[in-house]
């Protein structure tokens, strides 16, 4: 057992967040921690890792437990480069390699007696190096940096990075440290889809235990085998991933409801018998027995249904013409960088298009361009746009929430405005707060309520699921599935994309690549034949590019063959060194060859890391 929680209670400013919570985390477990916005998930993580102290109950961590914790918006300050920061994880490996090199160098000029001592030490060091895989620490660093989106950023100073980049870099360090328990609070924030897939694959093969808070349903389904839910201060554990949890939770609620109703029916019958028979001499004894049974009965609480999710409904008044948006050739730039050049974009009425691509390729910039009124862009007749901005920048932070919303829709009565906000998940207390005082989840719900009020027949959404908890995401999905207008959106939520999109527009290598079909089909097509994605517009690679790619692949295969042979030789040399430790001349010959093999392996791994 890694961590055990018993009867844990915690409050903020007198308001209970967790009440008598009990559960345990075991070696090698993969656990998803879920719950609505404000239910206390991050608080529970801080209690588990020791950053907060419970009011009552206990959190017991196994002695000498190595634990890595990634909090949301993790601060990571350093004046060193990204590579140098991660290299510190391998200080012990660097020390071992230096000691081994020093010992082998000393062997070159040692006498026979000293040689035996040095050979024994070299053998011991070599075994530790092999056991820790110390020679490959540079490859490990580059693999994680590239996978987490830092390719080409090895030399960037950490203090110059954005907040999201610092959080990702901290996660890189945790992955390389390989603690027994990884505790991750929203690790998929700030990750593009390519990086998300890489992280999932990496964590699937991770040897330690994992506890993760996430609103990414694919992430939870791929990685977790147990789900712990925080709801109304209670912590409940369910065996299975997120999708299984949903089924089990519904079954649990139904069973508890039936048990409660059966007990209430039994109580009613017992009480009726007691009331009728307690005064009769002939039946008083049996009535008293039933009364005693009632007193001893442990009463079940009426099970509460899950908190209602927000509700949305998107409607419009008039259908547009068939072509909703169309452009002439345009060039898209940002920060002096050309993102797209001489591209065109057309979207027809009723299409549901997801724009996908790596971070920095220009997805949000493209959305804003299409709505900018630029001369290259024309909207169809009767098109009414409703735009959701992921930053909710059009909601003034100093205004009261009710005023910020009602001011945009003055034709609504105050009752109607409050009703729309309540349906979106903002209660009477929330609507009195300033917009800037709302949590990220509540601001997102306010923005979606405003989107609903615009009655657009063309919805343009930039990361609409950011900050939303899982029930809110699923509710938004249902509302958009029922919407029969045109939908154009950017999202990092793969379940959201798969559920809604019938067309994928991918920003790849400075081009727009179109795919007609579901997102999962697009991914399968990319994996099966990356160059043959069904596209309206895709340039065939040039002959020299194909030749370079073939050379790269051939060189990778050649390096892999050479590495396998060299590593086999290195292992054989280790055994030979142990067998001939008493032969001075043989030890010198073997040690010299070991040094040559190591240099060759290092050079090949360096080249391999650049090629992949």
146-181: pLDDT as tens digits: 999 998 899 999 999 888 888 899 999 999 999 999
Strands 503-508 and 337-343: unpaired
Model confidence at 545: pLDDT above 80: no
Q: How far apart are CA 566 and CA 38, in angstroms?
A: 55
Q: Which of the two residues, 109 and 398, has the higher pLDDT score?
A: 398
Segments in 153-310 forming alpha helices (H): 163-177, 193-204, 217-223, 242-277, 284-296
What pLDDT is recorded for position 529?
Answer: 59
- Chain mean position to CA 501: 21
Q: Residue 310: pLDDT band by 50, 70, 90 thresholds?
A: very high
Model confidence at 365: pLDDT above 90: yes
Q: How far apart are CA 559 and CA 393, in angstroms?
A: 51
What pLDDT is recorded for position 535?
Answer: 46
Q: How far apart are CA 236 and CA 248, in angstroms?
A: 11
Q: Residue 375: pLDDT band by 50, 70, 90 thresholds?
A: very high
What pLDDT is recorded for position 397?
Answer: 86
Residue 402 · residue 418 · CB < 8 Å: yes
What pLDDT is recorded for position 534?
Answer: 46
Q: Which of the two residues, 579 and 94, has the higher pLDDT score?
A: 94
Among the listed ranges 170-184, 352-366, 563-577, which one has the minimum average pLDDT value?
Answer: 563-577
Q: Residue 189: pLDDT band by 50, 70, 90 thresholds?
A: confident
What are residue 324's phi and psi, to 5 degrees? Answer: -85, -45
Q: Residue 538: pLDDT band by 50, 70, 90 thresholds?
A: very low
Residue closest to 380 by CA, chosen among 321, 327, 431, 319: 321
What pLDDT is recorded for position 31?
Answer: 96
Model confidence at 412: pLDDT above 80: yes
Q: How far apart are CA 527 and CA 515, in angstroms?
A: 14
Q: Residue 452: pLDDT band by 50, 70, 90 thresholds?
A: very high
Residues β-bridged to residue 346 = 326
SS3 516: strand
What pLDDT is recorded for position 10?
Answer: 94
Model confidence at 47: pLDDT above 90: yes
Q: Which of the two residues, 530 and 593, has the higher pLDDT score?
A: 593
Buried/exposed 17-54: b ≥16 CB within 10 Å, e otherwise = bbbebebebeeebbbbbbbbbebbbbbbbbbbbeeeeb
Helices 440-453 and 414-423 pack at an angle, to 10 degrees, of 130
> Across residues 406-425, what is the average pLDDT?
91
Residue closest to 49 by CA, chosen among 59, 63, 58: 59
Q: How far apart are CA 251 and CA 254, in angstroms?
A: 5
Among the listed ranges 99-108, 337-346, 475-484, which one has the minimum average pLDDT value?
Answer: 99-108
Q: Residue 609: pLDDT band by 50, 70, 90 thresholds?
A: low
The CA-atom distances, in angstroms, between 214 and each of 63, 218, 242, 470 are 28, 10, 10, 9
20: left (phi over 0), alpha (psi -120 to 50) or beta: left
Summary count for the chain: helices (H), strands (E): 19, 20
% of the chain with per-residue pLDDT over 90: 58
Residue 448 · residue 423 · CB < 8 Å: no
């Amino acid at each position: 057992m890694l961590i055990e929680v018993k009867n844990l209670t915690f409050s903020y400013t007198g308001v209970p967040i967790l009440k008598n919570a009990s559960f345990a985390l075991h070696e090698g477990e993969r656990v998803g921690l879920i719950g609505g916005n404000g239910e206390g998930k991050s608080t529970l993580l801080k209690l588990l890792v020791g950053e907060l102290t419970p009011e009552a109950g206990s959190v017991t961590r196994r002695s000498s437990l190595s634990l890595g914790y990634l909090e949301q918006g993790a601060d990571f300050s350093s004046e060193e480069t990204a590579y140098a920061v991660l290299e510190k994880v391998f200080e012990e490996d660097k020390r071992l390699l230096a000691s081994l090199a020093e010992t082998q160098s000393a062997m070159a000029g040692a006498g026979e007696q000293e040689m035996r001592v040095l050979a024994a030490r070299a053998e011991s060091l070599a075994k530790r190096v092999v056991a820790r895989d110390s020679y490959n620490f540079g490859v490990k660093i580059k693999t994680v940096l590239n996978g987490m989106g830092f390719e080409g950023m090895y030399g960037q100073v950490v203090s110059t990075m954005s907040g999201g980049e610092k959080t990702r870099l901290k996660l890189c360090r945790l992955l390389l440290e390989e603690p027994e328990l990884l505790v991750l609070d929203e690790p998929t924030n700030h990750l593009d889809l390519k990086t998300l897939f890489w992280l999932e694959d990496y964590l699937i093969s991770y040897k330690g235990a994992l506890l993760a808070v996430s609103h990414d349903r694919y992430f939870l389904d791929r990685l977790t085998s147990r789900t712990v839910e925080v709801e109304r201060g209670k912590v409940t554990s369910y065996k299975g991933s997120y999708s299984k949890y949903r089924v089990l939770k519904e079954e649990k609620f139904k069973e508890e409801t039936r048990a409660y109703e059966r007990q209430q029916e039994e109580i009613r019958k017992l009480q009726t018998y007691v009331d009728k028979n307690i005064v009769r001499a002939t039946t008083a004894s049996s009535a008293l027995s039933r009364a005693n049974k009632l007193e001893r009965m442990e009463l079940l609480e009426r099970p509460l249904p899950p908190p209602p999710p927000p509700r949305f409904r998107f409607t419009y008044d008039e259908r547009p013409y068939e072509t909703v948006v169309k452009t002439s050739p345009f060039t898209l730039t940002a920060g002096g960088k050309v993102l797209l050049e001489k591209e065109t974009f057309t979207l027809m009425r009723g299409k549901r298009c997801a724009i996908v691509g790596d971070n920095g390729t220009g997805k949000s910039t493209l959305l804003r361009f299409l709505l900018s009124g630029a001369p290259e862009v024309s909207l169809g007749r009767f098109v009414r746009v409703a735009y959701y901005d992921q930053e909710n920048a059009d909601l003034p932070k100093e205004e009261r929430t009710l005023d910020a919303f009602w001011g945009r829709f003055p034709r609504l009565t105050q009752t109607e405005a409050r009703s729309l906000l309540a349906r979106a998940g903002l209660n009477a207390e929330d609507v009195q707060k300033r917009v800037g005082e709302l949590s990220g989840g509540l601001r997102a719900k306010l923005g979606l309520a405003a989107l609903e009020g615009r009655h657009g027949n063309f919805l343009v959404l930039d990361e609409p699921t950011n900050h939303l908890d899982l029930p809110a995401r699923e509710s938004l999905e249902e509302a958009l599935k029922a919407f029969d207008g045109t939908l154009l959106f950017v999202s990092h939520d793969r379940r959201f994309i798969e559920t809604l999109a019938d067309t994928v527009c991918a920003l790849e290598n400075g081009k727009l690549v179109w795919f007609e079909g579901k997102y999962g089909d697009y991914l399968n097509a990319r994996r099966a034949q990356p160059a043959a994605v069904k596209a309206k517009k895709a340039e065939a690679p040039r002959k020299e590019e194909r030749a370079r790619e073939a050379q790269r692949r051939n060189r990778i295969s050649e390096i892999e063959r050479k590495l396998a042979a060299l590593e086999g030789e290195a292992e054989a040399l280790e055994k030979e060194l142990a067998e001939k430790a008493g032969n001075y001349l043989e030890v010198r010959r073997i040690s010299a060859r070991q040094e040559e093999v190591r240099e060759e392996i290092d050079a090949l791994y360096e080249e391999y890391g650049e090629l992949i």
